């Protein structure tokens, strides 16, 4: 394993506390955890693309970063109306 | 020498992201958690981007990495602001 693969593996462990917040705390706290999980996912995809030497996979990370932004806005808007 | 710098930057970025994840879990209110969520789109991504650019340069991979980090950095505050407004209600 190279350094970027190890970094991706280490970043995956960051999902554990975020999942705990999403399951145990209020809805708005879950949205906060979801926003950070989107950023972490985009960084994991960057590290995997570099670790596997597949430049074309970076497109997945770009799309993930854009989609996580949209999902955060949608959830915040939805919870704001409740 | 360059590999060492890449490894150090990667370790710093991953550590920053993991600290933000732990901070989100440890804090009590949504507003306190938002501080760590916002930091997760600034500190860690830039360290990882610096490591990526040191290794790959400004080629296709480097420019895609810049796009990812720019998206996270520019859109992060917008989402944090929207979430804070939703939490205030």
Query: Whole domain around residue B14: which residue ranges?
Result: 2-88
Number of structural domains (chain B) is 1
Strand, helix or coil for residue A25? coil
Cα B89 to chain centroid, rounded: 28
Indicate the residue of A4, A13, A65 with minimum beta-carbon distance to B72.
Answer: A65
CB contact under 8 A, A43 and B37: no
Q: CA-nearest residue of chain A to B87?
A: A28
Whole-model pTM: value is: 0.93
pLDDT in tens, chain A (82 residues): 899 999 999 999 999 999 999 999 988 999 999 999 999 999 999 999 999 988 888 999 999 999 999 999 998 888 876 5
| Residues lower than pLDDT 50 in chain B | none
For residues A38, A40, A44 and A45, what is the CA-based torsion angle, rounded to 10 degrees? 30
- Which of B35-70 are b and which e, b meaning 16 or more Cβ less than 10 Å from the residue's Cβ? ebbbbbbbbbbbbbbbbbbebbeeeebbebbebbbe
């Amino acid at each position: 394993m190279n350094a970027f693969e190890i970094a991706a593996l280490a970043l995956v462990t960051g999902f554990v506390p975020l999942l705990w917040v999403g399951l145990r705390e209020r809805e708005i706290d879950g949205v906060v955890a979801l926003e950070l999980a989107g950023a972490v996912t985009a960084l994991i995809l960057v590290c995997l693309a570099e670790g596997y030497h597949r430049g074309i996979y970076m497109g997945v990370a770009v799309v993930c970063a854009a989609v996580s932004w949209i999902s955060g806005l949608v959830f915040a808007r939805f919870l704001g109306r409740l | 020498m360059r590999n060492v710098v890449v490894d150090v930057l990667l370790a710093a970025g991953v550590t920053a992201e993991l600290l933000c994840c732990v901070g989100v879990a440890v804090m009590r209110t949504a507003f306190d958690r938002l501080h760590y969520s916002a930091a997760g789109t600034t500190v860690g991504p830039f360290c990882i981007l610096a490591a990526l650019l040191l290794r790959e340069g400004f080629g296709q991979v480097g420019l895609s990495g810049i796009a990812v980090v720019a998206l996270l950095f520019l859109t992060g505050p917008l989402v944090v602001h929207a979430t804070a407004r939703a939490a205030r209600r």
